[in-house]
Amino acid sequence: MEYSYIGIGSNKGDSIRLIRKALDMMDNGPGVKVTRVAPLYRTQPVGYVDQPWFYNTVAEMEVEITPFQLLDLLQKVEKKLGRVRKIRWGPRTIDLDILLFGDRIIRHPKLTVPHPRMGERAFVMVPLSYLIPDRDFGGRSVREAARALMDDQQVQICKHDI
């Protein structure tokens, strides 16, 4: 068994309901158990900015499947929840990304772990800092990396139970 951390975002439709549904669907997937979920945040879009702010969180999971099996599960959940890939960084009903998978480093055309841009994104690092604040991330803790990003990017905590 290993732990994986999944970034979750939504800004199209009933985002909070969609995030809850995605968590339920992942938790019911084979070889996956959602163990903790960070607080929910509202964050500015990145890249394509002419769209609503996102709701974001990170889920911790115990996994007994391979990273590629987990990727397949996440893509199936996205599809069932109406994810359409038309505009890069555009609006989406649900976005699920494998951020970390144990201590593994994966460089494959279908999957890169750790997620290649996670250290640049407050919407990833801030919720991740609630789950693994002291984990090393490039010579500093996840908590320190999140604090540095919060100085540059707008992040708002939400009062929604997930």
Residues catalogued as catalytic? 83, 92, 95, 97
- For the chain, the straight-line distance linking the first and the last C-alpha, in angstroms and rounded, comes to 24
Q: Using alpha carbons only, how large is the chain's radius of gyration in Å?
A: 15
Integer Cα distance of 114 and 31 in angstroms? 20
- The residues near 50 (Cβ < 8 Å, ≥ 6 apart) are none
- The residues near 102 (Cβ < 8 Å, ≥ 6 apart) are 2, 3, 4
